[in-house]
A and B are shown apart, each in its own frame.
Chain A
């Protein structure tokens, strides 16, 4: 067959001299706050996205002014670990260059929003001075690597954190473009350095990896292109079950796109992790669809060619074989709020940060408080895949001091917040996300209270329930794994998805389309009432909907 046409982004990458493009010229142009179009694609590989404040787009258009362009910078933070010193640097940058907030993402990273072009370079350089980079935080490469943070008592806990970092390092692009452009590193002659893993045009699409430590599936390991489930035997890390081909992004009304849970491919020992991971990446590099970006994720490559073909391919490439998958059990995806003791005798405190937004607002001074804590804390911080924050490595003697600050600054919301609100995830959406079709983060407080009140009506108040909302079908808050999900369709209108479990093993189903708030509350009422009436002991809402036949049955992940 004829060589398939390549997407425009492929051509931009190919012509970019290893992701340099004309970014430097774009940054220097004083007439606009934007970058040239091609460069807008390329900067993603450097960890930053061009956005604009959608709230004031119209006002500015009428004023004959261009949109209020600014940049979102996303850090690379394997396993979500950062030091108090680094926290303070980011906090300072958020105040000086950003929009005064820090955003903890669903991939355990930080986002700074609202950095203007003029100050982009200074900001990125300052982050680097604090040893935080944003290389490959976005773009068609391996993204920030997730690692479980909720099983501190497991010896694997610390070990997989190291693996997350090594995997991230191993899959970093080798181009010096980032250093040249943002850090004034000296120019590489020709600017055509080798990319042993990626090659000149990198991957066909973004690529995501995660490592989970049972029994907690906080990373939603089946949602990623590449996953590792830590297998701990006799108190030591025996190896990992490998999962491949997960991904959630979809497009409304395009059945060719769909969320997909990863396949369980087999078991591998720690030494095999890097070779196998590399094999997975290079296979996707060579076989992924470079013509249609909507069809370019690994999940489609595997769905199209089959798991057996894929396992054979990675075995051949890595020269090491997989063993049969080992037993594992997940009990939940949620964070364990409050204090818990680690295997090393130190403590960690998990705080609820609603949709990850660290901000001083309505009485709660999250940003100020966390800066204070960072000022005295001697351990480190862990960002969780649930957009929350863990103050980790605390000596028992330090706990009281931290508790005092937590209370003083209103960081103790995890104690008071209703379960539905405490477990909820919301993506960023408006006003910064260019793809948002509806509100998400800004709507979360109101909508979760509305749901909570509805549950109250059926005596279900306080029942744990996993609710996630995203502003479009891309699914950044991993909504397709929630028991109740709202997926934005238009301002004020959402698709209602129902029936996920609480372990990240089952996709939910589209239940009703295009509902406004009244609409989805009305759709839920009878279901809540049935759940309240007919549920078995501790039966979760999603499980109930399946057992009672209100939803069609589906096989859970890993049960292949």
Chain B
């Protein structure tokens, strides 16, 4: 990561400030071969002085660093916050290294002096994939004592999940248990994290400022600053034109899945296969009406909120979250309505019932079932800002130029969700030609194609999880990748939701797709899922893995991902003739090597 590289350069210099300055001016703008000559020249001088050649890498982690910022981030929020902080420190000439949790050298934790952790929670209260090793190490019994460590934690989360900011909270507690001392109290951020994150960063900065006298001044201001953020962002989305909105599933007994094509023309936005597209939706008007009706409000009530003032209805349509309920919101309803049922849900131990309450309940339901009197400001105040929704990009720019394709499942189809629609999926599914859709690209560096295109791919993506793999295949075809491609797809019915069937058939004919295994869960009497198919193909699967294939999993986080993980473990166990835990380790190692990648939601 360019930014990390740059930041790493801000420490580990055996030179004083002047010489750093000179050096940086000297190397400014030199091309690769010159730089290589230079290093050789310097090495030569060293030998001349009777030394032996030992090249110190500028990026070699060095914990003499004044402070380290670690981020565990799945969808990029935490990464951006951490990068911003590192940039700020750097500009102020404060030495700090910036590391992904995945690249943090665990054995050094014991000697770490100042640690700032930005950590999000995913899955069902799980760490970001990239941070698993880090958290495992930290939570393990044999974790080192950290009496000499000072730390602070920023926890990112989403209060619509029962285990709100779980991982950040546990890290914070654990560091305490291990004897480390808090620089300042943990901050938990909901999806509207900007404000919270900003003042957490501010306090981190102040803490270091105060500590600064304790060490030699380092002025590195002249080193290149951290890469600047892309021009379009979730705060400043690009308005993309809708090119196509085509249902690609048929019938009422399957989810309504849409193939969406948007134009990024003129945006300068670009994406890699594996990235996601952030969509800023408007809530369904029938849901807004239902909410107003249930709350007995007209909608014209003026509401002032961070600067702008609009009518309540307007806020409910765009700006506020009304389809996902959050823990705090349930809390507020518990108070206002005095419902014992709601308060009970919030008590510890009831996470499971709270979880499915949340997936079954929307604001409308709360208003209808737990009546209380709400005035407009109170209601608006109880709601949090509408969060962008992410969608795996289902295309490769090499194939579709400045378009971006998505595969979106409507949540409101099939059942009685007419006024209980999913905000973004409903928004996209109901856009007509040339409609405007505010979007931004969410890079996903953890879910990239192998740089070595001759590597084989095993792609497991049931349902809409298949989306990124459409992009992968387009990319691999475009660059004429030599590696084999194996797709495992699952859906309900061969006849009605075999997503992109004719495209896969063509890819098979052209040899772009080497193998396609299918699991349809509602076709025959017995229900077949992808993990069964994987078990059946265990031998070949194992051979592919052994011959270096990378495994990609995308789709449902709650049921599919764990089942597929278990299936992979038992395949390795069975055909690698390993004991279960060895198989598990093998898979973890694949994960660490970047050969087992997941993008689950």
Interface residues of A (CB under 8 A from B): 30-33, 56, 59-60, 62-66, 68, 116, 118
Contact = CB atoms under 8 A, between A and B. Distances in A.
22 contacts: A30-B518, A31-B504, A31-B505, A31-B518, A33-B494, A56-B250, A60-B250, A63-B247, A63-B250, A64-B246, A64-B259, A64-B500, A64-B502, A64-B503, A65-B250, A65-B495, A65-B498, A65-B502, A66-B501, A66-B502, A118-B494, A118-B523
Given A31-B518, A33-B495, A63 B249 contact: yes
A64 B258 CA distance: 11
B371 to A, nearest CB: 44
A64 B248 contact: yes
A59 B503 contact: no
B495 A68 contact: yes
A65 B250 CA distance: 9
Contact of A32 (B247, B250, B503, B505): B505
A31 B518 CA distance: 8
A35 to B, nearest CB: 14
B577 interface: no
A364 B249 CA distance: 34
Contacts of A31: 501, 504-505, 508, 516, 518
Interface in B390-404: none
Contacts of B500: 64
B246 A63 contact: yes
A196 B259 CA distance: 57
Contacts of B247: 63
Contacts of A33: 494-495
A116 B524 CA distance: 12
Given A31-B508, A59-B250, A63-B247, 16 more contacts: A31-B501, A31-B518, A32-B505, A33-B495, A63-B248, A63-B250, A64-B499, A64-B500, A64-B501, A65-B496, A65-B498, A65-B501, A65-B502, A66-B501, A66-B502, A118-B523
B505 A66 contact: yes
A343 B458 CA distance: 73
A36 to B, nearest CB: 12
Contacts of B248: 63-65
A63 B505 CA distance: 14
A408 to B, nearest CB: 34
Interface in B496-552: 496, 498-505, 508, 516, 518, 523-524
B375 to A, nearest CB: 47
Interface in B245-263: 246-250, 259
A131 B419 CA distance: 56
Contacts of B508: 31
Interface string B218-261: 00000000000000000000000000001111100000000100
A62 B502 contact: no
Contacts of A30: 494, 518
A518 B486 CA distance: 57
B462 to A, nearest CB: 15
Nearest to A119: B524
Contacts, number: 43
A66 B495 CA distance: 9
Among B248, B496, B498, B523: residue with most chain A CB under 10 A: B498
A428 to B, nearest CB: 22
A68 B247 CA distance: 16
Nearest to B250: A63
B203 to A, nearest CB: 52
B493 to A, nearest CB: 11
Nearest to B513: A31
Contacts of A32: 505
Give the top 5 A-B pairs by smallest Cβ distance, nearest first.
A63-B248, A65-B501, A64-B248, A30-B518, A64-B500
A140 B259 CA distance: 44
B383 to A, nearest CB: 37
Contacts of B496: 65
A59 B523 CA distance: 21
Contacts of B523: 118
Interface string B102-119: 000000000000000000
A60 B249 CA distance: 9
B10 to A, nearest CB: 50
Nearest to B244: A62
Contacts of B503: 64
B474 to A, nearest CB: 14
B495 to A, nearest CB: 6
A56 B494 CA distance: 16
Nearest to A70: B495
Name the residue in A30, A33, A56 with the highest tally of chain B Cβ atoms < 10 Å from its Cβ.
A30
B120 to A, nearest CB: 35
A118 B494 CA distance: 10
Nearest to B257: A63
Nearest to B503: A64
A68 B493 CA distance: 12
B431 to A, nearest CB: 17
Contacts of A65: 248, 250, 495-496, 498, 501-502
A62 to B, nearest CB: 6
Nearest to B524: A118
A30 B259 CA distance: 23
Nearest to A59: B250
A299 B508 CA distance: 44
Contacts of A118: 494, 523-524
A116 B249 CA distance: 19
Nearest to B494: A33
A155 to B, nearest CB: 53
A62 B246 contact: yes
Nearest to B247: A63
Contacts of A62: 246
A54 to B, nearest CB: 15
A491 B496 CA distance: 28
A118 B508 CA distance: 20
Contacts of B495: 33, 65, 68, 116
A26 to B, nearest CB: 14
A445 B556 CA distance: 51
A32 B509 CA distance: 12
B273 to A, nearest CB: 19
Interface centre among A64, A66, A118 (most CB of B within 10 A): A64
A66 B505 CA distance: 9
A32 B518 CA distance: 11
Nearest to B496: A65
Interface string B72-87: 0000000000000000
Contacts of A66: 501-502, 505
A60 B494 CA distance: 13
Interface in B446-492: none
A66 B509 CA distance: 14
Contacts of A60: 250
A152 B408 CA distance: 65
B432 to A, nearest CB: 16
* Residue with the highest number of chain B CB atoms closer than 10 Å, among A30, A31, A33: A31
A353 B505 CA distance: 42
Nearest to A34: B505
A452 B505 CA distance: 50
A60 to B, nearest CB: 7
Contacts of B516: 31
A242 to B, nearest CB: 49
A71 to B, nearest CB: 14
Contacts of B499: 64
Most chain B beta-carbon neighbours within 10 Å: one of A56, A59, A60, A68? A60
B372 to A, nearest CB: 45
A64 B250 CA distance: 10
Contacts of A59: 250
A65 B491 CA distance: 13
A56 B248 CA distance: 13
A526 to B, nearest CB: 48
A230 B508 CA distance: 58
